[in-house]
Structure 1
């Protein structure tokens, strides 16, 4: 599974696996223990994780969600220590992970949602948070040997 296969639905908590398009919209399956299915029509806003980014003050203007989630995983490995935190602690956390984020356009509720998604992915799809080999880059003989356990 990839970030383009996971969606967030406006007004609904959690994340959803994109199963397939239907006549009236798209069929989604929740990424939790219930695995409930949901048909989302055109009236509801569905965002693929691969298309979501966070506003920054850089020239690009935004940082992809995928990159931020990988940074969080590399540094914190699941232990963000923000259970019961206040808004200032959430903002300080994101400032640590993404120093150039736009504090005027990114709200504490956005950071809470980011962390909620991170924990869902870490539990249900941990392989998404692992560093991926760069596209177009051939694996070295050493990498191939490591995969085979030699």
Structure 2
């Protein structure tokens, strides 16, 4: 019998987890009559909001790999659905920012909140050193997937 490679087992488990998370996101998109790119856009906007960063249409398009026309169509679609709003920047009134609405945040929490709560619960079972190792591994994998390693 061939010995199992624990590192490769972990990589396969990460792949399986990624597939399940993708399916969860696809079910959310389907149930809410959204395109998968709409979900990615909302996640990007909520991440920026949590980080205290302003998001312009150009920045959102770059994050999603969309051209200007595709970004405008996406924002228009999300705005019609009540998921985002366009607002003027307080610092520069010429800049238009894209923000998720409270409706979008509530909708996201209704679907992803239990999953996030479970992740937090699991992480609380690890000590600080173990959490740092998990975080380092995931950050390294994210960078590799983004083409940085």
Give TM-score, length-normalised by structure 2. Answer: 0.29
User: Higher strand fraction: Structure 1 or Structure 2?
Assistant: 1
TM-score normalised to structure 1 length: 0.29
Higher helix fraction (1 or 2) = 2
Which of the pair has the greater relative contact order for Cα pairs under 8 Å at 6+ separation? 1
Structure with greater Cα Rg: 2
